[in-house]
Amino acid sequence: MRVTLRRWSTEDLPVLERANTPEMTKHLGGPETAEQVVARHARYLRLWEAGDAHMFRIDVDGEPAGAIGWWHVEHDGRPAYETGWGVEPRWQGHGVASEALRQLIADVRADGERDLLVAYPGVDNPGSNALCRRAGFALTGSNTMPWRGAELTFNIWVLDMSPLDLTGREPDVDERFDEGVLDEKLWWPFYTPQWSSRERTAARYTVGAPGLELRIEADTPPWAPDLDGDLRVSHLQTGQLSGSRGSGDGQHRFRPGLVVREEQPDRLLWLPRFGVIEARLAAIRHPSAMVALWPIGFEERPDDCGEICIAEIFGSELDDTGGWVGVGVKPQNDPRLRADFEKVRVEGDLTEFHDFAVEWTPERLRFFIDHRWVKTVAQTIDYPVQIMLDVYEFPPEGGERDAAALPHRFRVAWVRSYPPPPAR
């Protein structure tokens, strides 16, 4: 099922007419008159031309399924966007509204003139309220106002899209890799070696101004060939925890049935919990390469294993004008989390340095690229994480490695963490 947003056109009046039923308007005070529907259609067209709104038809596999849009408003004296939507009954319950809202948020982000998105669903509309919550909005209150000859009581949901502001905050760790040697009080230079061995998972790297370079070289071996084929990795992590040899206890259980092959010492190094984690990275434009910045649960308890994906960049998804950056949350094996991950288009050369960050509170995670907001996840990860810096080389489809492209070089200028601000 493919959900797309199509700019509102003169042909879309029937979409509003189909939505003007008692079932579709029961949370809005009932249907409008035919004349009011025609006026609404004309307003959608006029506001887009004036630059004051973007109204879209929602299509499912090319078939009209509803409408969604944003328009300029003032919210508590602050310039904002307001959004609203409607999906026809036969498409409800299939994730259509969630995907449409995700795409609309991307359109708001691209417009970029305002940094607040608001929605006002009726308090008796469970579907729309749940949709706001899943999309990262925060519930800030409720209100009642006259509407269509009656009174409408609605919830107030806000999505904070303001840029990352670190004014007055000092990092508790500011790793610049400029000492000429790797700081082993912060970094363990092996990729989850309990599932393989330190010999196979040892990082290839250099440190010193202007930072860290992680490399995959011609003689870098596959890290665990019987588990992961010819995948090669060069990686640093800020913690290490695993059980005894033969047990199934260890971090980053990426598939069922893993067994510790080489027992590792515990390393409790740099393990943030809440605050801001930020790094300056440069990606690799090659179809076999991928770079990532992943804080994952340190896993002192097995369920504490969720992943905060600050940046995941595949070389195959870069082009001459920009590329796609994966951000969000992956549950891994944490049953309390749900996957909330998406790829965000970034304009500019991603093989040059860009800043990637997450602002992590007990209520939500806000993600940023070059300090600009890109996504909010309304979930909590309430346990320490270890920071993972990775460069991967995936086996090519033809089976022949591109020797001329080696080594793959993942450059990291710095990594920082900021503690949470003091409670007020």
pLDDT higher than threshold 80 for residue 147: no
DSSP 406: P
Specify the pairing of strand 267-268 against strand 340-347: unpaired
Cα–Cα dist 258/59, whole Å: 43
pLDDT score of 388: 98
Side chain identity, residue 261: R
Cα–Cα dist 235/291, whole Å: 10
- Count of CA atoms in the C-beta half-sphere (13 A) of 241: 22
pLDDT score of 154: 93
CA 412 to chain centre: 20
Q: Is residue 158 within 8 Å of 118, Cβ to Cβ? A: yes
Arithmetic mean of pLDDT, 229-245: 96
pLDDT score of 276: 98
Mind listing the pLDDT tens digit for each residue in 327-353?
999 999 999 999 999 999 999 999 999
Q: Is residue 219 within 8 Å of 407, Cβ to Cβ? A: no
Cα-based distances in Å from 288 to 267, 313, 314, 327: 31, 11, 8, 20
> Strand pairing partners for 87?
66
- CB count within 10 Å of CB 224 equals 21
Percent of the chain beyond pLDDT 90?
93
Mind listing the pLDDT tens digit for each residue in 29-79?
889 999 999 999 999 999 999 999 999 999 999 999 999 999 999 999 999
> Model-level pTM?
0.94
Taking alpha carbons only, the member of 54, 16, 18 closest to residue 38 is 16
Q: What is the pLDDT of the chain when averaged over all its residues?
A: 95
pLDDT higher than threshold 80 for residue 104: yes
Mind listing the pLDDT tens digit for each residue in 256-308?
999 999 999 999 999 999 999 999 999 999 999 999 999 999 999 999 999 99
Phi and psi dihedrals of 339, rounded to 5?
Answer: -65, 130
Which two structure tokens, joined as six digits, stand for 331? 């549950």
Cα–Cα dist 385/309, whole Å: 12
pLDDT score of 423: 74
- CB count within 10 Å of CB 138 equals 15
pLDDT higher than threshold 80 for residue 148: no
Residue with tokens 């519930």: 139
> Strand pairing partners for 237?
188, 388
Q: Is residue 86 within 8 Å of 24, Cβ to Cβ? A: yes
Mind listing the pLDDT tens digit for each residue in 302-311?
999 999 999 9
